[in-house]
């Protein structure tokens, strides 16, 4: 039983490693704000141990959507935006006792964004396409977790609750050069989707649960919400230029600090030291925040994905890989879109670029 509990601890841990590393696969700017959180209660001799998870995520967003409709002409015309996003989370968790644990997450992020419209303009042709970049640490998150029922008497199922704080440690006004023509460059803040942080102090709430159907088959479920009370971070969206009158009128001349949430659920199956899982995952940047205002520039939207994955455990070491594949991508109407619609009488609905899939790979070490 103790061997089974130890293996399943790691299985649940790595299965949830990427639940908060959610950039929503594109221009919908959900950032990495944490790693693993929920674990199956460990055998008593491990109840005060440590674990370190290093999880890397990569995706390439290049398909544009307005609502759920793909704007296929953007690729055909060569005007689409292409984001390459790579991030690594260092997630350190300490079990204080059988029910309580505390965790700290440090993300390191590197982004490249290729576009025409931010530089010479979409009408200037392929030669006007240039890149902007960002690299550095993201927003650090500190969380406390507690099993709602005593793990000693609830080995087959349990629910873990977590509360945390997200600190604005990531650079939310990172700058790079925008090419206006072959000889002129302008230094300005990069697009919101590749900023390293959002500039807000946020508060997180989580629920993580498992249910062992048999000794080989287990169900899992997770919910995560980040509330950002700050409405705007004051960073210009004009890329080193002067905001347009239209942007000022609808409030999109500065960047918003949006809320975000994620939920996922699925099934794990154990085959010796190997674990396979399949589930559904939904990630969202909200249109409106729970606390505070919701104006400022943001690209709200959702990604619903099928999430297959697998892991292999050897002693206290586990390697894993998960590949959420997008099923539904939806760029919803933002508050500035709504204001513009009301002021002009013409329906406005911005677009966003999404990826087809993301790749998550990493390792977990208990000590």
CATH number of the domain encompassing residue 205: 2.40.128.130
What pLDDT score does 31 carry? 52
What element of type H or E holds 207? strand 202-212
Nearest to 285 by CA among 325, 333, 324: 333
What pLDDT score does 60 carry? 96
Token pair in block for residue 62:
């290049």
What pLDDT score does 153 carry? 92
Q: Which residues of the chain have pLDDT under 50?
A: 1-23, 33-45
- Counting the structural domains of the chain, the total is 1
What pLDDT score does 25 carry? 54
- Which structural domain range is residue 298 located in? 2-366
How far is Cα 159 from Cα 211, in angstroms, rounded to an integer?
Answer: 9
* Separate counts of helices (H) and strands (E) for the chain: 4, 19
How far is Cα 331 from Cα 350, in angstroms, rounded to an integer?
Answer: 8
Q: pTM to 2 decimals?
A: 0.89
What element of type H or E holds 8? helix 2-15
Are the CB atoms for 94 and 150 separated by under 8 Å? Answer: no
Token pair in block for residue 343:
């002021």
């Amino acid at each position: 039983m103790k061997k089974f509990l130890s293996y399943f601890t790691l299985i649940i841990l790595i299965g949830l490693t990427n639940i908060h590393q959610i950039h929503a696969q594109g221009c919908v700017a959900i950032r990495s704000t944490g790693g693993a959180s929920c674990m199956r209660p460990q055998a008593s001799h491990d109840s005060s141990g440590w674990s370190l998870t290093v999880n890397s995520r990569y995706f390439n967003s290049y398909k544009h959507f307005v609502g759920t409709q793909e704007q296929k002409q953007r690729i055909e015309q060569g005007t689409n935006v292409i984001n390459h996003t790579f991030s690594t989370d260092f997630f350190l968790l300490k079990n204080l006792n059988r029910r309580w644990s505390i965790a700290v997450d440090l993300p390191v992020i590197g982004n490249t964004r290729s576009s025409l419209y931010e530089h010479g303009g979409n009408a200037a042709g392929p030669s006007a396409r240039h890149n902007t970049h960002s690299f550095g640490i993201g927003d650090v998150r500190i969380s406390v977790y507690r099993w709602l029922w005593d793990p000693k008497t609830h080995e087959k199922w349990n629910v873990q609750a977590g509360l945390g704080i997200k600190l604005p440690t990531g650079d939310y006004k990172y700058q790079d050069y925008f090419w206006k023509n072959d000889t002129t460059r302008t230094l300005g803040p990069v697009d919101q989707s590749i900023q390293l942080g959002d500039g807000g102090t946020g508060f997180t709430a989580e629920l993580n649960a498992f249910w062992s159907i048999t000794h080989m088959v287990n169900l899992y479920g997770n919910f995560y919400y980040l509330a950002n009370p700050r409405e705007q971070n004051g960073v210009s969206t004009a890329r080193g230029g002067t905001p347009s009158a239209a942007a000022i009128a609808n409030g999109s001349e500065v960047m918003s600090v949006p809320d975000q949430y994620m939920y996922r659920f699925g099934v794990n199956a154990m085959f010796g030291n190997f674990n396979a899982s399949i589930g559904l995952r939904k990630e969202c940047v909200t249109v409106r925040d729970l606390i505070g205002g919701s104006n400022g520039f943001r690209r709200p939207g959702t990604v619903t994905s099928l999430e297959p994955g697998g892991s292999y455990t050897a002693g206290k070491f586990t390697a894993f890989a998960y590949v959420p594949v997008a099923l539904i991508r939806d760029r919803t109407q933002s508050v500035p879109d709504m204001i513009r619609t009301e002021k002009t009488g013409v329906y406005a609905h911005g677009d966003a670029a999404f990826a087809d899939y993301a790749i998550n790979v990493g390792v977990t070490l208990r000590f």
